[in-house]
Structure 1
Amino acid sequence: MARHRHPAHDPRTTDRDRARRTLSQNFLTDPAAVDRLVRAARPHPDGLLLEVGAGKGALTEALAPHCRELIAYEIDRHLLPGLRDRLSHRPHVRIVHQDFLAARPPRVPFAVAANVPYARTSDVVTWCLRAPRLTSATLLTQLEYARKRTGGFGRWSLLTVRTWPEFDWRMCGRVGRRSFRPVPRVDSGILRLERRPRPLITTAPDLAAYRDLVELGFSGTGGTLFASLRRVCPARRLAEAFRQAELAQDTVVAFVSPDQWLTLFRVAVERSR
């Protein structure tokens, strides 16, 4: 009877095979999909652009003509020779053999564009949101993730609502699974985060108060959103906030849009400060 071999210990697999599995690599090979991602990213011709996981360089090569400087991060040493050879005629492209998540954000304005490994999507998004000089991030992610973060299911996530005053979240299209090699099990979505030129809440104390309100609302304390917020807001003022936001008092928190959250904050909290 043949023994089952785990891929990580199978002597018939190569280092390259194991790296592909470990790093969750699905290379974007469809030129039309590459072009859609570049158009969604809208790189500034005089700007700095960072790419997460350059892979074999298809997206890197397409992005290169649209920016002043491109720093492409690639953690897989097996891909570096081919990547550097492919981009050798682009002197403004720098290939960095490093985990992007370990990189320090630039101190000048910059954008991010990438075909993100599904397993690292949340970490890459967190890195981008924490980078003070990030202007935008255009990421090819698992379709479900992109839809979840942009209200695609009619529901809104805590992360999106919490960061909405500073970042616009939108989905810029769908990319079929057969645009990748190896072919993944699911389709992808183009997710774009764009820092607002002027935050929707302009002072640091008000922004902190908004975040606290959102965290409380998503905590589930009290059983309903209204009951949760009632812990910090007078009932009459909160009822008026729900009315102006066009929300029933039994509305489930996930179905409250970011714009409705702003109304709740401005009527129930900000005006009382």
Structure 2
Amino acid sequence: MARPSPVARALSQNFLADRAAARQLARLAVPFTSKVPLMLEVGAGKGALTEHLAPRCRELRAYEIDRRLLPALRARFTETSHVTVIGGDFLTSQPPRTPFSVAGNVPFSRTADIVDWCLRAPGLTDATLMTQLEYARKRTGDYGSWTLLTVRTWPRYEWRLVGRVARTRFWPVPRVDAGVVRIERRRTPLVEPASYAWWGELVEAGFSGVGGSLHASLRRVCPRRRVDAAFGAAGLERGVLVGAVTPGEWLRLFDVLG
């Protein structure tokens, strides 16, 4: 097998080389029998995932930044009228105004930016992204700890690890395995919109590390007696590390502190 090109390395390209893995990713992205009205695919590459997403969507917009791949990609789907191949950087695109989904085997080096784009898009309903396994596990609490981004967005989005893919299923073969993370917008937020800014401020303060513990960090923004009462309601010890506090426990803290 040929060595990966310098362009592939520069763009952090690891193409899905296994049809079964591509088919499974499409099933995870569209887990229902009805078709998705609008799907955006991040990094269509040679169309391995596009092929399996197309039958599950009424409209599919496949973004590919590597212009060398565009002629073959467009030729492959020229007879599929509801698939539009778009040459360019997905991150510079404007989110659709109507509800939409996102799926893709994303470049590992650009995962954080792509996730941020998705979370800022008002119309996003869900995103199913193949990322480094470590990233997927970390964001979904699979290591037994929780990150600032996950907790801060939890009232509006559910994060789940829904699959794992061996690194040997890609070409070029990356150094690590991949995971599939699914981010779903909640139909009913867990925190009232009017209180969401305070939720974010509270979580940011808790993850600041000031004072050496979550209890001490929260005392910077709330009276000690209220923090004590919140910890009691959540069943937390005062010395608990912030990463060990689950989103559900954060919500119980917020019930008292909010």
- After TM superposition, the score normalised by the length of structure 1 is 0.90
Q: CA deviation at 1:265?
A: 0.9
Q: Is the contact between residue 107 and residue 131 of structure 2 (CA under 8 Å) also seen in structure 1?
A: yes
Letter in 2 for 1:162: R
**Alpha-carbon separation, structure 2, partners of 1:243 and 1:46:** 44
Match of 1:22 among 7, 10, 13: 10
For residue 93 of structure 1, what is the aligned residue in structure 2? 83
Which residue of 73, 79, 84 corresponds with 2:74? 84
1:136-175 equivalences under 5 Å are 136-175=126-165
1:46 to partner: Cα distance: 4.7
State the alpha-carbon separation in 2 of the partners of residues 97 and 42 from structure 1.
Answer: 24
| In 2: Cα distance, 1:203 partner to 1:105 partner | 21
Q: Which residue of structure 2 lines up, in the alignment, with residue 192 of structure 1? A: 182
Task: Tell me whether 1:264 sits opposite 2:253 in the alignment.
Answer: yes
One-letter amino acid matched to 2:5: D
Instruction: Show CA shifts across 1:203-257 (max 9, x none).
Output: 23x1100100000000011111101111222222211211221210000111111
Q: Deviations over 1:47-99 (max 9, x none)?
A: 10000010000100110000100000001011011111111221100000010
Establish whether residue 104 from structure 1 lines up as the match of residue 94 from structure 2. Answer: yes
- TM superposition outliers: structure 1 runs of 4+ over 4 Å: none
Alignment equivalent of 1:182, drawn from 151, 155, 172? 172
Take 1:247 and 1:58, find their aligned partners in 2: how far apart are those partners?
A: 47
| Aligned-partner Cα distance in 2 for 1:264–1:84 | 52
Which ranges of structure 2 fall in alignment gaps of 5 or more residues?
none
Contact 2:38 2:60 survives alignment (8 Å): yes
Aligned mates of 1:258, 1:167 — CA distance in 2: 11
Structure 2 match to 1:220: 209
> For 1:35 and 1:47, how far apart are their aligned partners in 2?
19
Structure with greater Cα Rg: 1
Matched with 2:244 is 255
Of 16, 26, 38, 2:26 maps to 38
Q: Could you tell me how far apart the structure 1 residues matched to 2:201 and 2:221 are?
A: 10
CA distance in 1, matches of 2:61, 2:212: 47
Count of paired positions: 255
Q: Does the CA-based 8 Å contact 2:205-2:221 persist in structure 1?
A: no
Aligned alpha-carbon RMSD (Å): 1.5
The answer to which of 227-236 and 188-197 deviates more is: 227-236
Quote the Cα distance in structure 1 between the aligned partners of 2:17 and 2:6. Answer: 21
Aligned with 1:171: secondary structure? strand
Secondary structure (helix, strand or coil) at the match of 2:5 reads helix
Residue of structure 2 in register with 1:11 after alignment: none
Give the TM-score, by structure 2 length: 0.96
- Take 1:94 and 1:232, find their aligned partners in 2: how far apart are those partners? 49
Q: Which position in structure 1 is the counterpart of 2:60?
A: 70
What does the per-residue CA deviation read over 1:88-141, in whole Å, with 9 as the maximum and x for residues that have no partner?
Answer: 221100000010000000000000000000000000000000000000000000
Alpha-carbon distance between aligned partners in 1 of 2:67 and 2:6, rounded to the nearest angstrom: 12
Confirm or deny: 8 A CA contact 2:36 2:101 kept in the other structure: no
Residue in 2 that maps onto 1:3? none
User: 1:35 Cα shift?
Assistant: 1.7
Fraction of identical pairs, as percent: 59
Q: Secondary structure at the match of 1:89?
A: coil
Secondary structure at 2:150's aligned position in 1?
helix
- 1:118 paired with 2:108, answer yes
Paired residue for 1:203, among 190, 193, 198?
A: 193
Moved more, 35-44 or 106-115: 35-44
List runs of 5+ in structure 1 lacking aligned partners: 1-13
The code of the aligned residue for 1:185 comes to R
| Residue aligned with 1:244, SS | helix
